[in-house]
Structure 1
Amino acid sequence: MQKIGAVFTDAPAIEDGMACGIDKPLLLSALKDGVKVEPPATVRCETALQLARWMEGSVAPALSTAMPGETINQLAQASAYVCRNRNNAETGRISEHAFGNAIDIAGFTLKSGKTITIRPADKDPSLEGAFQRAITEAACLYFTTVLDPGSDAAHENHLHLDVKERRGGYRYCW
């Protein structure tokens, strides 16, 4: 993780009951080039690694193309580790957030101070809309589940990214 420029601290193991928890959690506070993760995210190493790879390999180049001269200063995360069911439902399957496998991205703050907020952008003809569509599609190269504002009402203001292992390498990109 440090080789790719991530800044993190090891955190104590988490065991919250309901099968929730992380054996070796990380508290991720920044990515390459000083991009702050705000608030810092408690995740598994694999989640942090794929986030760092996605940011460097796809998000930064897409931003450079869409908004030349801009760089990302801060990543706004909406949810990392939390012991809960999927979509905060009272019953049902446990969320990948409950294992440290998922992170929700709400937006980005650029060095200029401009903010890009994740929102429905499938019909947005602007460069910001194209940027969001590009990074969402590219996320499927790094994460096994990608849910965007078009997937359902529970994800209309963020990207859900997770690294859940599935049979046959299956990926769910919506």
Structure 2
Amino acid sequence: MALKAIGALFEEAPAVDDGKACGIDRPVLLKGLPGGIKVEPAATIRCETALQLARWMEGSVKPSLEAAMPGEAITVLSQASAYVCRNRNGADEGRISEHAFGNAVDIAGFALKSGKTVTIRPADKEPTLEGAFQRAITEAACLYFTTVLDPGSDAAHQNHLHLDVKERRGGYRYCW
């Protein structure tokens, strides 16, 4: 109901059960965010993940873009990974990724109404407005998500932002 109320475009999807430790009881297929922003490709995730993504876009990404590039607007959010049954960082062994529960989405970039694209990349030292925009939205993501991994966090995240809503004891957040 909350996703409908904010104007997200989605479909309820059948439960995902891969017969392993992965799955989502009540997934949504997120196709768009408020303001007519397309999600490409559509993302199979939990409702809470979709809701936090929409809140982050409205509360931080759109205002940061307006400050960095006045008059621009996001038309497409490019996601690189949503639900997938795998271990963290695609490793052969180890802990299961939050993607395997629908708790995570990876953001590769944005298409803008001017036709320009903003691609997530290492920008921690970049002295441009686009670099400042990326740093601002990355820092703000930790207000909405419990895990934020950016291109500076490790080699597996050099071309995207990993955002997830994993619940942790005491409300702990991991923002790197």
- Between the aligned partners of 1:6 and 1:19, the Cα distance in structure 2 is 29
Total equivalences in the alignment: 174
Q: What one-letter code is carried by the residue in structure 2 that aligns with 1:137?
A: E
Unpaired runs of at least 5, structure 1: none
Query: Structure 1-normalised TM-score?
Result: 1.00
The SS at the match of 1:33 is: coil
Aligned residue for 2:115?
113
Q: How far 1:23 sits from its partner (Å)?
A: 0.2
- The whole-number CA distance in structure 2 between the counterparts of 1:104 and 1:51 is 11
Alpha-carbon deviation of 1:5?
1.1
Aligned mates of 1:116, 1:148 — CA distance in 2: 15
- Equivalent positions of 1:115-154 (< 5 A) are 115-154=117-156
- After the TM superposition, which residues 60-79 of structure 1 pair with which residues of structure 2 at under 5 Å, given as runs? 60-79=62-81
CA offset digits 1:48-74 (Å, max 9, x no partner): 000000000000000000000000000
Residue 94 (structure 1) aligned with residue 101 (structure 2): no
For 1:89 and 1:17, how far apart are their aligned partners in 2? 19
Q: How many angstroms apart in 1 are the aligned matches of 2:18 and 2:142? A: 29
What are the superposed Cα offsets for residues 51-106 of structure 1, whole Å, 9 maximum, x if unpaired?
A: 00000000000000000000000000000000000000000000000000000000
Distance 2:134 2:100 in 1: 26
Q: Match for 1:24: what amino acid?
A: R
Deviation at 1:161? Answer: 0.0
SS in 2 for 1:65: helix
- Taking structure 2 as the reference length, the TM-score comes to 0.98
Query: Which residue of structure 2 lines up, in the alignment, with residue 164 of structure 1?
Result: 166
Aligned residues with identical type, % of pairs: 80
- Find the residue that maps to 1:40 and give its secondary structure: strand
Instruction: State the one-letter code of the partner of 2:107.
Output: I
CA distance in 2, matches of 1:3, 1:132: 28
Give distance in 2, aligned partners of 1:58 and 1:11: 28
Q: C-alpha separation between the residues in 2 aligned to 1:3 and 1:28?
A: 14
How far apart are residue 18 of structure 1 and its match? 2.2
Aligned residue number for residue 103 of structure 1: 105
Counterpart in the other structure of 2:15:
13
Secondary structure, aligned partner of 1:19: coil
Superposition misfits of 4+ residues, deviation over 4 angstroms = none
Q: Where does the alignment leave 5 or more consecutive residues of structure 2 unmatched? A: none
Output the CA distance in 2 between the equivalents of 1:26 and 1:144. Answer: 20
User: Match for residue 37 of structure 2?
Assistant: 35
